[in-house]
Amino acid sequence: MADVLVVDLSAVRRGDVGRVGGKNASLGEMISALGDQGIRVPGGFATTADAYRRFVEDNGIDRLLSEALIGAGQGSLAAAAAEIRDAFVRGRWPEDMEAAIRDAYRELCAATGVAQVDVAVRSSATAEDLPDASFAGQQETYLNIRGEDALLDACKRCFASLFTNRAVSYREAKGFPHDKVALSVGVQQMVRSDLGGAGVMFTLDTETGCDRVVVINAAYGLGENVVQGAVDPDEYEVFKPLLDDPDLVPIIEKRCGGKERKMIYAEGGDATTVNVDVDDAERRAWVLAEADILQLARWACAIEAHYGTPMDIEWARDGRSGELFIVQARPETVHSRAGAAVLRSYSVGDRGPELARGLAIGDAAVTGTLCHIDDPRDIDRFVEGAILVASTTSPDWVPIMKRAKAIVTDHGGRTSHAAIVSRELGVPAVIGTGDGTRVLADGAEVTVSCAEGAEGVIYAGAASIQVEELSLADLPATRTRIMLNLADPEAAFRWWRLPADGVGLARMEFVIDHAIKVHPMALVKFDELEDADAKAEIARLTASYPERTDYFVERLALGLARIAAVQYPNPVIVRLSDFKTNEYAHLLGGAQFEPHEENPMLGFRGASRYYSPRYREGFALECRALRRLREEMGFDNVVVMVPFCRTPGEADRVLAVMAEHGLKRGERGLEVYVMGEIPSNVVLAAEFARRFDGFSIGSNDLTQLTLGVERDSELLAELFSEQDPAVQWMIRTLIRDAHAGGAKVGLCGQAPSDHPEFAEFLVGCGIDSISVTPDGFAAVKRHVAAAESGG
């Protein structure tokens, strides 16, 4: 029986990898199985592995494989591979094989109604895309091929690409015999994405493995630039669980990439494609419209469901018709094979001399090289993966902190910026060393240990670090809900596997500071801005928005959506902005709208701002973002929380303003909480309970205001304690009176992580939930379980 040399893609199924390779088998599977779901895959055909073997045999390349490559030493591999590639290109087509390819191309031309249809010619190795050895990207692809002769030449070059240096080296490393791998050539009608756009998408978050999102990258022109990483694309993230509702738009992230160049069809000459520059207007615009993003995400979910595994998918949009197409799909081979999440505990041995100590943030230990930075503007001096040493940090330092292996500061406490950001990044930090910048030598190798209790230590040299892993499945169940404190949307997915009961505190001001950077009143009153530099920067940031205020609303809604998505459908408590006036003034354009206060901690902050003429229009933007988050994007698990609400009368005014802007307590299931952080919240707990659905005890401010001790005072640090009898009386009383009024009570603070006895005290008081930073989750879960069992 004669070998089958060419097959139509519609006749190929996923089980045909041995015959047509992974790419082509996947294309055929999608054409036949997913077409009725509206997924468009360009038609075409494929040469078979039998055709490849016939070509190899008829041209004597099989002998060349045995003589030149099999058993060749590492130094001679490149030369042998070059000789084999040349043999393929010089080879002659067997007559029946050439006729089969020509006939298949003519049939494709007839089906498309184009005399010489332009096609993509892709290599598909027969061992490609196996879970333990993906050959993806090892062979060549040729785009914009037109005519029978050009197609035959491209097919030979695809055969030859099975022996590129990188492909040969890859097979050597994986132990695949070179003569046991064949190659199928896939020929598809080109999608005119040179006039539109193209890219890739994954059915999970590629950084964390979170399987609740589709991540889409997009750039103008043909998709090779995105696949090869040669261009900075747009990036969109879509939340899968809400995609089935056609009335929702669950796009939770949009990042506009640089898109400096695009690959288009070449006109004349030997090259079939060429890269050209993208103009500034196109670079600032989005490649994909909202409807396209959602359609691609739904297709990705359908493909994933059909294959039963996370997928890596290539897509293209035809610039003439506007239609979207899937041009390739393969199993994702990194996170899909990762084991179940574990928590790690660290122990340090063989320590060198102690150099400095301070408060331990996190419980990890690392070794590395010290890098002193005096000013965040010196970010270029920072060495990726070094240990940052600084006097203190502020929001301007976050880009450096994200690149650091560990962080050491001279100043700060457990509620300082450095401590909060380090916890969320999962980076160990030693805070408040006093003289770290003086005694720690720049460039020295050290060990930073936060694994030895409340104090962190920096040791000279590289100590030995032991890591013990604990399966999350081993964590005990608790009646008390254990929730997370989250603020940074970019870090939120890092914790998606934690079996938390929701997010007990999401700080809106962190999103404003890091993702928006602009004072909301500077957007509302842009024409009145006096700071020319700030005005120019705000104009740049908001250039692509019809109204400048839309920038604030969209960026805030997107940032909060990533946090809400991590724990959906569990409750996510979003605290309204709680900047102090000096912090608001730090935002772009903010100085013009903020009064000077001697004590901002007790000044114009929290609830008092929301109904004030000074900020009321800015608060309206916060409300618009929350409505979009809940009603348009679908995150109705979001609970709104009012901070620093001093009196019941003030609560009434805030609730009235929220209702004016469509956030009425009780409507669409909206719950509104209040922070329990002022003694008046405790004294009048029954009154506040009539106005709010729940309380969240802010233990830092409540301790500060109960004891009269500034929370960040180094001189009075020993007096600041949530376990002081006066503070415990406040907490016990608030829980009792709030429960009597039908309101729930939680606590968001660090104390339960650091002190098991404090967690036991909260459980004894009947608290409903405890919200902690992710690094403290496991310890608090155990402390609470022990307290509930009487252990």
Q: Please give the positions annotated as active site.
A: 417, 748
Tracing tokens 């080296």 back to the chain, one arrives at: 169
* Cα 471 → chain centroid: 23
**Separation CA 251–CA 256 (nearest Å):** 14
Residues contacting residue 17 through CB under 8 Å, at least 6 positions apart:
25, 126, 127, 128, 129, 130
Are 205 and 215 contacting, i.e. CB atoms less than 8 angstroms apart? Answer: yes
Q: Which helix (H) or strand (E) holds 619?
A: helix 616-627
**Helix 77-90 / helix 148-160 crossing angle, nearest 10 deg:** 160
The amino acid sitting at 8 is D
Query: Parallel, antiparallel, or unpaired for β 213-220 and 694-698?
Result: unpaired
The amino acid sitting at 440 is L
Query: Parallel, antiparallel, or unpaired for β 324-331 and 694-698?
Result: unpaired
Are 515 and 507 contacting, i.e. CB atoms less than 8 angstroms apart? Answer: no
Residues contacting residue 291 through CB under 8 Å, at least 6 positions apart:
none
Query: Parallel, antiparallel, or unpaired for β 365-372 and 445-449?
Result: antiparallel
**Separation CA 541–CA 344 (nearest Å):** 40
SS3 463: coil
Q: Which of 597, 603, 601, 584 is nearest to 700 (CA)?
A: 601
Are 260 and 232 contacting, i.e. CB atoms less than 8 angstroms apart? Answer: yes
At 545, give phi and psi (nearest 5°): -105, 135
**Other residues' Cβ atoms within 10 Å of the Cβ of residue 288:** 22
**Separation CA 46–CA 142 (nearest Å):** 14
SS3 507: strand
Are 14 and 27 contacting, i.e. CB atoms less than 8 angstroms apart? Answer: no
Are 189 and 117 contacting, i.e. CB atoms less than 8 angstroms apart? Answer: yes
Q: How many helices (H) and strands (E) does the chain have?
A: 29, 30
SS3 504: strand
**Separation CA 253–CA 558 (nearest Å):** 6
Question: Which pair of tokens denotes residue 530?
Answer: 């006096």
Q: Is the peptide bond before 774 cis (omega within 30 degrees of 0)?
A: no
Residues contacting residue 536 through CB under 8 Å, at least 6 positions apart:
none
Give burial (CB, 10 Å; 0-12/13-18/19+) of 195: middle
Are 372 and 389 contacting, i.e. CB atoms less than 8 angstroms apart? Answer: yes
DSSP H helices in 426-531: 436-439, 489-492, 508-511, 520-524
CA 381-385-388 angle, 5° bins: 60
Residues contacting residue 10 through CB under 8 Å, at least 6 positions apart:
28, 31, 32, 43
Q: Which of 700, 711, 696, 704 is nearest to 770 (CA)?
A: 696
**Separation CA 714–CA 441 (nearest Å):** 25
* Cα 580 → chain centroid: 29
Q: Which helix (H) or strand (E) holds 432?
A: none
